[in-house]
Structure 1
Amino acid sequence: MYLTQGLHRSLQRHPDKIALTHVSDGLVRQHSFAELLDGIGRHAAALWARGVRAGDRVALLAPNHDLLVRAIFACWWMGATACPLNVRWSVHEIAHALEDSGARLLLIDESLTALAQGLSLPTVGLEQLADEARAPAPLPDVRAAGEQMAAILYTGGTTGKSKGVMLTHANFWTASMTRGAELNNAPDSVSLLVAPLFHVAGLGRLIGQTMVGGTCITMAQFRPAQVLEAIETHGITDTILVPTMLQALMDEPGFQPARVRSLDRIAFGAAPMPPDLLERALVAWPHAEFFQAYGLTETAGALCINLPENHRSPEARTQGRLHSVGRAGLGAEILIVDESGHPLPPGEVGEIVACGPMVTRGYWNNPQATAGAFRDGWFRTGDAGRMDADGYLFIVDRLKDMIISGGENVYCAEVEGALRSHPLVSHAAVIGLPDARWGEAVHAVVVLAEGVAPERLPVDELRAWCRERLAGFKCPRSVVYVPALPLSAAGKVLKNVLREQARA
């Protein structure tokens, strides 16, 4: 169970087949499997020359492209751990992840070098690393496998700071097998990787596609017109999209079903799918397989999949399965439990817990968070759900205080911490409100310090304060000032009351 295995297998079977294509503003770079493996080995040699060794953490800050893919695989090739970071983070957030991970080196896209100013960690541009990789002979693949750590992926911080999820080669391998057992992943498929590789969905799809010897297409940004062109030009057959991306594609003036006919499999998830949007997509792609996946960073990908037949079958629709996230996949076990951890009967709502070889062993350098995430060996997802008598899982709500905006996770405690750090703010509560474009929008309810009039702190000034400390997608889109926050008898903020007030 090593993540470079599929590359070696493909080298034997079809060395000249295109493994990876990068598309960007008219630029197209292609790599055969033979070229990709040679480049990965040479990149590993270049990392070795810079002092990276097996077990070291290597941070990566770059949008999706072929240089990033080669660098990630080079880490695995030499037994190092890849730590891809969110390119939308602030300098403060990046610095925290670098310090927390203890990364030996930061590999960065040259367009983002301004974010590295002031960091003490040695930093190398990905293009520079590619130049350095031309001279040395390729390193042999150590075939790091099993419980050796493959990646640390950082989640938003429910306690105000991001947590690093430790994911092993076995975690990713099993998650890919779980998906493949439910839906055959054909080796002749062409997969568009537009979901960021610093998210588990994007990275997991890269792994699954290379395992079977399929072709990957990388794009640095989701731009509807360019994505439509790439689908048409490169014969893309499958992709993962969050609902906002799917809507943007169909809203694009150049969208025509004939142009995107090659796309015959569309996965969606990461945010609630509006029923009318799904119906519209099913009409636009009458031949395509649609499926919803449910999983978390901590599960290295999907725990369960709602199969394509449940999206078009009249019987499945009658049974309400269109809005399910499916049944536990191969190797995964899912239960609905009460507050004490006892399993609940079908139909009752409780917390979703899971176990299986795809589940993380915990959070890097954070034993307290790790202990809190598990109960009797079961991972506590923090999501509320119910399961029917046939094992179909339905997500009801999130127990964790999290907002999903445009497919990005926003943790309220983190935003509240940034708001409260302003000297004129006394208290703050953050909630998610429905948003037609982003799924949910971040809304802040703020109590100013005693004696401070709202005129002393304009809303735009407070939002700018947050933008200096948080990624843009985490910053409140709307702010209201109130005299006090509604509290329960235990002193907890009643966010259900805030939601009712905001929607009134």
Structure 2
Amino acid sequence: MYLTQGLHRAVQQHPDAIMTIYADRTRTFGEVADRVARLAGALRSLGVTAGDRVAMLSLNSDRYSEYLLAVPWADAVLNPVNIRWSPAEIIYSFVDSGTTVLFVDDAFAPMLPTIRQEYPGLIAVIHCGDGPTPDGTLSYEQLIADTAPIEDARRGGDALAGLFYTGGTTGFPKGVMLSHDNLFASALGSIASGYLFKPNGRYLHAAPMFHLADLAGWLAEVMLGGTHIIIAAFEPVATMKALATHQVTDVLLVPVMIQMLVDHPAATDYDLSGVERILYGASPIAQAVLERAMKLFPGAGLTQAYGMTEVAPVATLLGPAEHVAGLLRSAGRAAPHADLRIVDAEGIEVPRGTVGEIAVRGDHVMLGYWNKPEETAAAVRDGWMHTGDGGYMDDRGYVFVVDRIKDMIVSGGENVYSAEVENAVAAHPSVAACAVIGVPDPEWGERVHAVIVCLPDRTVTAAEIREHAKTLIAGYKAPRTIEIVDALPVSGAGKILKRELRKRYWGDSDRQVH
């Protein structure tokens, strides 16, 4: 299978049906297919060849959806950029991947001088915003108007579909290589559960389209020939207005987004009864938030997905009927396409109820990490993706995530690796040592918390640390709270004992993630 397959099917069966709605633009499947074929032709005329990496740095838009189709149509590889990254992180990913073409919108065009200065490898930059075309860039719409359509390369199967960069424990992002088959296995399995997506649906892109979770929803909707309602970014009122105005049936939200919606004073001003399915992930949902969400969305079934970029991205699902007492803290059971077990350090399955590492196997497991064979071999062993998450499975197959073997924090649905935050904080001239942990937060699930030891005769404020960190890493990774101590707890071998730091916040809880 191949990413453009659903578009061809839709053009064959209902070319005049609406595919995308964004702002005041509405386009049919036939129109989108023609535009995609021309955009792919433009990429080839610019020198893009088979397997080249093409990046997108943009807020959500209908053009983002066209990018996701045009790149494989041109036989190239997607590289969606995390819009929350700092310029240094973006440049690292371009250098690492050898990206040759960049699409950029109005919001991120100001980064171009820095990107070009530090990374001269771009052969072209395409402006995909609605404002004036910046100097030195090509107009997205002009390229489409001036270029003849080309035949679809139908890149698919086990060919690389995209590089999806995720944080790394070394402090540098890793490019997760996902094939077309990887992405389709996850999408088809999720649909087969019966919980998610139906033909003729209307899916709202409120979550960022660079994120694999939303891309998975995009692919499912493309396969089923549904309509994509797109807003530039999540904002409670804009989201509720879009849900109500466009009769949206399906939406992906993280729990912090759901909480922002149910807490908003205007929540009852919109008719949200038409929403049929809400997919959420990144963290479980609190009972109180769930009850309020069910009132706000009376016609919707909620499904929780657990997974990671490396499994394209779904491993388990907790369906609407399972959102009951006793299972709300569960991540659900293995999705139809996934084989899952809990293993010990040797990779041997442990008895039910015993905490071990969650391991996943199936056609959705990544090809590997781009140019990182050692990290790939450590993560994927005998076909099993070792997630780094600790959990247990009950006698009915429900998985409960209890801790992270890898040192990672999930804040507001985004993965933050402690190592990269520690590297940034430690670079401050007043810092002698630091440890970064995730601590409970009612709004974000977890927040990034730094524990710092200052150098003798040096002082620093929390605000100074935050601003310093944000010059090196994305703002959402910078510590939200900071604690200055005289010394960090260490083992006999001199290793910082983060479990001792966590105890102050998590107490005796058997679950140290939210």
TM-score class, shorter-chain normalisation, is over 0.9
Q: Distance in 1 between matches of 2:173 and 2:107?
A: 24
Residue 487 of structure 1 corresponds to which residue in structure 2? Answer: 490
> What SS does the aligned partner of 1:409 have?
strand
- Structure 2 spans left out of the alignment, 5+ residues: 130-138, 508-514
Which deviations, in whole Å up to 9, do the C-alpha atoms of 1:262-296 show, x marking residues without a partner?
A: 11111111123222211221233333111111111
**1:493 alignment partner, SS class:** coil
Match of 2:444 in 1: 438
Distance 1:266 1:503 in 2: 30
With over 3 angstroms needed to count, the CA separation of the structure-2 counterparts of 1:400 and 1:257, relative to structure 1, is farther
Partner of 1:209: 221
Does residue 453 in structure 1 map to residue 465 in structure 2?
no
Which AA in structure 2 matches 1:16?
D
1:324 is aligned to 2:330: yes
| Matched residue SS, 2:24 | strand
In structure 2, the partner of 1:303 is 315
Aligned residue pairs: how many? 491
Matched, 1:144 2:155: yes
* Structure 2 Cα separation of the partners of residues 250 and 502 of structure 1: 27
Matches within 5 A, 1:335-374: 335-374=341-380
* Residues 344 and 437 of structure 1: CA distance in aligned 2, closer, same or farther (over 3 Å): same
Contact 2:202 2:247 (C-alpha < 8 Å) held by counterparts? yes
Deviation at residue 217 of structure 1 after TM alignment: 1.0
TM (norm. structure 1) is 0.95
Give the aligned residue type for 2:168: G
Amino acid of the structure 2 residue aligned with 1:87: I
Alignment partner, residue 131 of structure 1: 142
Distance 2:481 2:107 in 1: 30
Distance 2:340 2:269 in 1: 38
Pick from 272, 285, 288 the counterpart of residue 284 of structure 2.
272
Which residue does the alignment assign to 1:8?
Answer: 8
Greater mean alpha carbon deviation, residues 366-375 or residues 159-168: 366-375
C-alpha displacement of 1:376: 2.3
Rate the CA distance shift 1:241–1:200 in 2: closer, same or farther, 3 A. same
Counterpart of 2:472 (choices 449, 465, 469) is 469
> Quick one: structure 1 residues 92 and 34, their matched pair in 2 at CA, closer, same or farther if it must change by over 3 Å?
same
For the residue of structure 2 that corresponds to 1:496, the secondary structure is helix
Q: Aligned equivalents of 2:141 and 2:65: distance in 1?
A: 12
Name the CA distance, whole Å, in 2 between partners of 1:116 and 1:351.
42
Q: 1:427-448 deviations in whole A, cap 9, x for unaligned?
A: 1100111111111111101122
State the Cα distance separating 1:495 from its structure 2 match. 1.1
Matches within 5 A, 1:33-432: 33-118=29-114, 119=116, 120=120, 121=122, 122-127=124-129, 128-183=139-194, 185-256=197-268, 259-311=271-323, 317=325, 320-432=326-438
Q: CA RMSD in A?
A: 1.5
Deviation string, structure 1 residues 178-232 (Cα, Å, up to 9, x no partner):
1011026322110001111211101111011101101111111111111111111
TM-score by length of 2: 0.93
Q: Which runs of 5+ in 1 are unaligned?
A: none
Shift in alpha-carbon separation, 1:258–1:424, aligned structure 2, 3 A: closer
Shift of 1:503: 6.8
Mapped contact 1:45–1:137 kept (Cα < 8 A):
yes
CA distance in 2, matches of 1:466, 1:452: 21
Runs of 4+ in 1 over 4 A off after TM superposition: none
Q: Determine the C-alpha separation between the residues in 1 that align with 2:339 and 2:483.
A: 43
Q: What SS does structure 1 have at the residue aligned with 2:369?
A: coil
Q: State whether residues 273 and 298 of structure 2, in contact with CA within 8 Å, keep that contact through their aligned partners in structure 1.
A: no
Q: Secondary structure at the match of 1:143?
A: coil
SS in 1 for 2:451: strand
Contact persistence 2:284–2:330 (CA under 8 A): no
